[in-house]
């Protein structure tokens, strides 16, 4: 099974690119973030024609996540439930090919010390509580999406410039370690231990041409799933050309699924 996670930064602005990429990359499962639209305006028909079923958690203008799959999508669950009650569309869980897939779009946090930053830390703590309450690390679980966190300095082209930012600062990295400690392996890092492979480049300041990027989009797998991972890579081609998202897809393959 080939799975991808991609912050597409508006699915309606990127639909033609998405359809062309699905046809060439041939993923079985795709987790999208920042679809920036509602269920009603989601291009369900176009994706069905391309061979994908969709589970969508939408919101006007901001956020929004969706899971696309060639097979059945079952037991769809939206949000963090009792662990964090709000109206931001940031988490969608579903069973796909025997895997519990959790598609996440973490809050960015804007500035350290801001209300948005406090919300980010609260959201991350609630995610750990959600995992504790609903799932077991002995199950095949994949937590993937845009985490808005660079796990360590191997995920950052210029670590000094970002050390104090909402993407890298110690409280945020600590909150991510708390989530990882539930029972996840960073399967991308496992297969790319040298680091310095990025998934996001700012639109400004020639971020991509300079490869001034960060790895913010992650694939975290529980042990029984991590052991099946054959490879993981970033599809940098999708950051090139006309009107790219500021993120590239991160992909992996699992054996025997």
Partner DNA sequence: ATGGTTGCTTAGCAA
Task: List residues with catalytic annotation.
Answer: 105, 146
| Nearer to DNA among residue 106 and residue 182 (C-beta) | 106
| Nearer to DNA among residue 159 and residue 224 (C-beta) | 159
8 Å CB contact between 116 and 110 = yes
| Nearer to DNA among residue 85 and residue 193 (C-beta) | 85
Q: How far is the CB of 146 from DNA (least distance, A)?
A: 8
Q: How far is the CB of 240 from DNA (least distance, A)?
A: 12
d(CA 13, CA 123): 28
SS3 16: helix
Which residues have C-beta within 8 Å of that of residue 184, sequence separation ≥ 6? 137, 141, 143, 220, 221, 222, 226
| Footprint of DNA (CB under 7 A) | 9-10, 12-13, 36-37, 60-63, 107-108, 110, 116, 203-205, 243
8 Å CB contact between 8 and 35 = yes
Q: How far is the CB of 211 from DNA (least distance, A)?
A: 16
8 Å CB contact between 4 and 253 = no
Q: How far is the CB of 80 from DNA (least distance, A)?
A: 16
Q: What is the helix (H) or strand (E) element at residue 47, kind and residue range?
A: helix 44-49
| Nearer to DNA among residue 42 and residue 182 (C-beta) | 42
Residue (of 70, 10, 17) closest to 36 by Cα position: 10
d(CA 188, CA 247): 16
């Amino acid at each position: 099974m080939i799975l991808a996670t991609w912050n597409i930064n508006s699915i309606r602005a990127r639909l033609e690119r998405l359809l062309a990429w699905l046809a060439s990359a041939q993923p079985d499962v795709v987790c999208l973030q920042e679809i920036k639209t509602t269920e009603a305006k989601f291009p369900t028909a176009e994706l069905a024609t391309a061979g994908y079923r969709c589970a969508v958690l939408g919101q006007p203008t901001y956020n929004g996540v969706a899971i696309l799959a060639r097979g059945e999508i079952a037991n769809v669950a939206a949000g963090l439930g009792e662990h964090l009650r709000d109206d931001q569309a940031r988490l969608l869980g579903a069973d796909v090919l025997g895997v519990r897939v959790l598609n996440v779009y973490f809050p960015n946090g804007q500035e350290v010390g801001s209300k948005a930053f406090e919300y980010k830390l609260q959201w991350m703590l609630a995610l750990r509580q959600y995992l504790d309450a609903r799932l077991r690390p002995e199950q095949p679980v994949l937590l993937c999406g845009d985490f808005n966190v660079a796990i360590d300095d191997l995920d950052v082209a210029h670590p000094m410039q970002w050390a104090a930012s909402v993407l890298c600062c110690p409280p945020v990295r600590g909150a991510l370690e708390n989530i990882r400690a539930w029972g996840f392996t960073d399967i991308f890092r496992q297969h790319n231990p040298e680091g310095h492979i990025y998934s996001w480049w700012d639109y400004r300041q020639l971020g991509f041409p300079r490869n001034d990027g960060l790895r913010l989009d992650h694939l975290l797998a529980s042990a029984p799933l991590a052991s099946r991972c054959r490879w993981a890579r970033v599809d940098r081609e999708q950051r090139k050309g006309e009107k790219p998202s500021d993120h590239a897809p991160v992909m992996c393959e699992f054996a025997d699924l």
